């Protein structure tokens, strides 16, 4: 089970309020998409959830337990970054093994998980290659595979398609939807692209300037936008 609660989460950077009181409940196994214009605080919020940065105030609970003093490696949360952040000197196998080894898993278990992730993501023929020998789409799949190998309860994906060309983007988008079905975990997917949001999400969270404007199913946002910002952003005919 992975249920997330954010309570009045705020973040200041040098006196500027970047997150201005975020309240949100995310249910077990949901695929939630955070959408909003560049600079509205999506990545910052994701980093708080992953534990990569502290919040200025507020609380984040996972399955009812406060994560305040829980380090990233103990949260059961894995994040896939926009830039992939692969280790250039390691081959695909080593890249995928890295996080799982940090969790203290033995060699055989790590190997089993890598083979399983590689099968799921069609990376089996590429395990000995270095990142520079891969295409953008393949690198992105390795980044996803590396997160998958940790068997997280919660998957965070920050604009995972933004470095891919249009054709690949729809392929990888389908893969991500399928992955969510296969692994059955909770997934938070960040994008500034409303089409991506509308096609992927169980639930969309529309953000603007550090606040949540509306939360709802894609159709709900389209048919009943809460305000002009949501209507304009989602492109509904209001």
Choose, by CB under 6 A, the member of 6, 31, 32, 41 that binds ligand ADP: 41
Is 126 within 8 Å of 138 (Cβ atoms)? yes
Least distance CB 170 / ligand ADP (angstroms): 22
Contact between 27 and ligand ADP by CB under 6 A: the answer reads no
Q: Which token pair is 109? A: 């278990």
Contact between 12 and ligand ADP by CB under 6 A: the answer reads no
Is 19 within 8 Å of 188 (Cβ atoms)? no
- Contacts of residues 90-95 at CB distance under 8 Å and 24 or more positions apart, as own/partner, are 90/130, 91/127, 91/128, 91/129, 91/130, 92/123, 92/126, 92/127, 92/128, 92/129, 92/130, 92/131, 92/134, 92/142, 92/145, 93/127, 93/128, 95/131, 95/142, 95/146
Choose, by CB under 6 A, the member of 4, 18, 33, 86 that binds ligand ADP: 18
Least distance CB 10 / ligand ADP (angstroms): 12
Q: Which does 214 bind (CB under 5 to 8 A by kind): ligand ADP, Mg ion, none?
A: none
- DSSP per residue over 178-200, as a string? HHHHHH--EEEEEES-HHHHHHH
In degrees rounded to 5, what are phi and psi of residue 145? -60, -40
Kindly state the number of chain residues that form the binding site for ligand ADP, as judged by CB under 6 A.
Answer: 10
For residue 35, the 8-state DSSP code is E
Q: Which residue, 13 or 87, has its beta carbon nearer to ligand ADP? A: 13
Choose, by CB under 6 A, the member of 13, 57, 217, 223 that binds ligand ADP: 13
Contact between 143 and ligand ADP by CB under 6 A: the answer reads no
* Angle of CA points 156, 12, 32, to nearest 5°: 25
* Angle of CA points 67, 72, 76, to nearest 5°: 80
Choose, by CB under 6 A, the member of 27, 39, 184, 235 that binds ligand ADP: 39
Residues 40-99 that bind Mg ion (CB under 5 A): 42-43
Q: Which residue, 50 or 120, has its beta carbon nearer to ligand ADP? A: 50
- Contacts of residues 13-18 at CB distance under 8 Å and 24 or more positions apart, as own/partner, are 17/210, 18/44, 18/210
Least distance CB 190 / ligand ADP (angstroms): 7
Q: Which residue, 153 or 196, has its beta carbon nearer to ligand ADP? A: 196
Stretch that binds ligand ADP, among 39-47, 67-75, 116-124, 178-186 (CB under 6 A): 39-47
Least distance CB 40 / ligand ADP (angstroms): 4
Residues lying near ligand ADP in the complex (CB under 6 A): 13, 18, 36, 38-44
């Amino acid at each position: 089970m992975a249920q997330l609660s954010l309570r009045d989460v705020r973040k200041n950077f040098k006196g500027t309020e970047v997150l201005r009181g975020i309240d949100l409940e995310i249910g077990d196994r949901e695929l939630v998409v955070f959408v909003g214009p560049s600079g509205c605080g999506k990545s910052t919020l994701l980093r708080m959830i992953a534990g990569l940065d502290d919040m200025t105030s507020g609380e984040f609970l996972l399955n009812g337990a406060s994560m305040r003093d829980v380090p990233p490696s103990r949260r059961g949360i894995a994040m896939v970054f926009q830039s992939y952040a692969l280790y250039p000197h390691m081959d695909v196998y080593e890249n995928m093994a890295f996080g799982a080894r940090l969790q203290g898993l033995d060699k055989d278990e790590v190997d089993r998980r890598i083979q399983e992730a590689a099968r799921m993501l069609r990376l089996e023929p590429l395990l000995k290659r270095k990142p520079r020998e891969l295409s953008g789409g393949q690198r992105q799949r390795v980044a996803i595979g590396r997160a998958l190998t940790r068997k997280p309860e919660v998957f965070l994906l920050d604009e995972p398609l933004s470095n891919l060309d249009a054709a690949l983007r729809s392929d990888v988008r389908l893969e991500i939807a399928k992955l969510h079905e296969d692994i059955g975990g909770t997934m938070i997917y960040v994008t500034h692209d409303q089409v991506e949001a509308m096609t992927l999400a169980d639930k969309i969270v529309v953000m603007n300037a550090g606040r949540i404007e509306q939360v709802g199913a894609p159709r709900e946002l389209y048919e009943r936008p809460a305000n002009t910002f949501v209507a304009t952003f989602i492109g509904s005919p209001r």
